[in-house]
Amino acid sequence: MTAAAVIRTTRRDRVSTEAVAAAIRSQKPAREQGLPPAIEQPGISLDMSEPIKAISLTCLMIALGLSFSACKRSSSEEDETPDNSTYRPESTPTTEFEQKLKVVRDAHFQYVWVFTRIDGRAFTPEDSQLLHTNAPKVVDWVGMDDKKKFIAGSNFPIEPPNLAALQKRFQIEDYSGK
């Protein structure tokens, strides 16, 4: 029996609400409080915390049940598709030249050139100055450890008169798009 039912019953029997409140507070049987016997029924508690606990527990059980059933994943092997990817990892470059050429290519330049001296000797500071003067738009210069080759990367071509001046002193290999 709810508190509203108790109040309705007491109004019907013309019992004061103070008497009902006192009965609820003391939790003594209605007969001892002088209330009509309709208020006291076996098995019904006037304590409101128990229905709240029951409702909370029921809601918690429903929520847990829904969460466990909603996250269930099917385990049938028919749903899984095999990996048919064609990915093949690139092999690691073996020589120093291949490694440094890969560094320049990975920078995504439109033009990639390899400069070596015609006589096969190592580059001098004058050679370096000549390269920088005649190829000013080259962004990246990578030299080999033996100083006999330089790899250049740029997004702009070398001007034809400058290219002719460089070809007099250097062998130029074009690795653009290879």
pLDDT of 10: 47
Helix, strand, or coil here: 34?
Answer: coil
The 10s digit of each residue's pLDDT in 54-100 is 888 898 888 887 777 765 565 555 566 766 777 777 777 789 999 99
CATH of residue 146's domain is: 3.30.70
Backbone angles phi, psi at 174, to 5 degrees: -95, 115
* CA neighbor of 44 nearest in space, from 81, 13, 7, 5: 5
What percentage of the chain carries pLDDT values higher than 70? 65
What's the mean per-residue pLDDT of the chain? Answer: 78
**3-class secondary structure for 50-117?**
HHHHHHHHHHHHHHHHHHHHHCCCCCCCCCCCCCCCCCCCCCCCCCHHHHHHHHHHCCCCCEEEEEEE
In a domain, 17, yes or no: yes
Q: What is the mean pLDDT of residues 151-155?
A: 95
**Residue 163 falls inside a structural domain:** yes
The verdict on 13 and 58 lying in the same domain is yes
Residue 135 lies in a domain: yes
Neighbours of 145 (CB within 10 A): 8
Give the number of residues written for the chain. 178
Q: Is residue 80 assigned to a domain?
A: no
- 71 found inside a domain: no
Helix (H, G, I), strand (E, B) or coil at 5: helix
Token pair for 106? 């990975």
Domain count, the chain: 2
Alpha carbon distance 18, 92 (integer Å): 91
Q: Which two tokens stand for residue 6?
A: 């108790």
Q: Tell me, what's the pLDDT at 32? A: 59
Domain that holds residue 8: 3-64
Pair 162, 116 in one domain: yes
